[in-house]
Chain A
Amino acid sequence: MIQAITIISTWLIPLLIVGILLTATYKKIPSYELFVEGGKEGVKMAVSLLPFLVGMMVSIAILRSSGALDAFVNIIQPFLEKVGFPAEIMPLALIRPISGTAALSVTAEIIQTYGPDSFLGRLASTMQGSTDTTLYILTVYFGAVGIKKMGDALKVGLIADLIGIIISVIVVSWIFS
């Protein structure tokens, strides 16, 4: 099953490209001209994304480098231990919705420290894979098309992240116990 999906993943893009190009040629559509036309749009999008990403990433970098995030984790740790939530996973849970690269390095760190096949290693792996970086996705998608009022998107995204964290703890303790 896993192998099949890995094979599909590596073959999908080349096959897709061949499929698109053959269909276009068969239908006598100017493929190269259309490619350039669509590509130009990509340049425009990338440029309009820049200020959104600079703003967001600087803010996240300030928060992380000041040590405020770690301090916050230390404060709520005793409380979490009381409700049975593994405190060592808290930094990952906090950073997962904010920064994808930071979350990945925290996951790698947890796996290295506690071992990939430990409870914490499995939990970190599951958490990392089961949710995406909410703040990044909203910044990029809303930023690229110029949406200023995000509605409930951020709220729902963050609630879903919280659910993802709790579900990961439950599923991992249940399956690997």
Chain B
Amino acid sequence: MINIIWALMSVVGIIYAMLNGTMEQVNEAIFKGANDAVTLVIALTSVLVFWLGMMRIAEKAGILSALSNLFRPLVTRVFPEIPPNHPAMGYILANFSANLFGLGNAATPMGIKAMEEMKKLNHGKDKASNSMITFLVINTSSITLIPTTVIAIRMENGSTSPTEIVGTTLVATIVTTISAIWIDRLLRRRRESIMK
């Protein structure tokens, strides 16, 4: 599916540009897009190095396993395939906590570590495991408590109440996250019944 979507975005764009006469903009965009990706990776590198360094200390100091012990009852139900004491659980919780408080740049390295641990649990296969899909689906539906960037934009534009959207955002986030987990469960059940 990702191959088709990826190829389609470029193909549709270029064919449309032929008809629309926007080939010049497309040419520009190709190099700008590649350039943006490199800039992004450089920005990500600093964050990855810092947080993975910190988290390595936290792991060895037993902080991660303490964190997973604390939230174990809640998360084991969402991730039944991960042993409660496995480091993956600690990283998943670290990722969720960082996301909740809007610390996006700390959340990514912890999430990648969680993925790495889940890959180990899945015997290093290059196929996504059930836990990985659940984990990413929760991440894509966003679990941020306070959308700080949006509030900042609203303030800049002279809103009388920049934070009034916190409530609606929270309701929308909760409904989306719960439905995402639920759809994931449904599809997983379907996958498993096909396998049998």
Partner-B contacts on A (CB < 8 A): 2, 5-6, 8-9, 12-13, 16-17, 19-21, 23-24, 27, 29, 31, 34-43, 45-46, 49-50, 53-68, 71, 97, 104, 107-108, 111-112, 115-117, 121-122, 125-135, 137-138, 140-142, 144-157, 159-161, 163-164, 167-168, 171-172, 175-176
Contacts and interface: CB of A to CB of B under 8 A. Distances in A.
A117 B172 contact: no
B70 interface: no
Interface of A: prevailing SS = helix
Interface of B: 1-2, 5-7, 9-10, 12-14, 16-17, 20, 22, 25-26, 28-30, 32-34, 36-38, 40-42, 44-45, 48-58, 60-63, 101-103, 106, 108-109, 111-112, 115-116, 119, 126-128, 132-133, 136-137, 139-142, 144-150, 153-154, 157-169, 171-173, 175-177, 179-180, 183-184, 187-188, 191
B29 A61 contact: yes
Nearest to A61: B33
Contacts of B5: 135, 154
B172 A140 contact: no
Nearest to A133: B140
Nearest to A19: B63
A115 B38 CA distance: 35
B169 A13 contact: no
B195 to A, nearest CB: 12
Contacts of B32: 61
Given A66-B13, A116-B157, A122-B165, A149 B128 contact: yes
Contacts of A53: 37, 40-41
B128 A66 contact: no
10 contacts: A116-B158, A126-B172, A141-B115, A144-B115, A147-B128, A150-B2, A156-B180, A157-B141, A159-B180, A161-B176
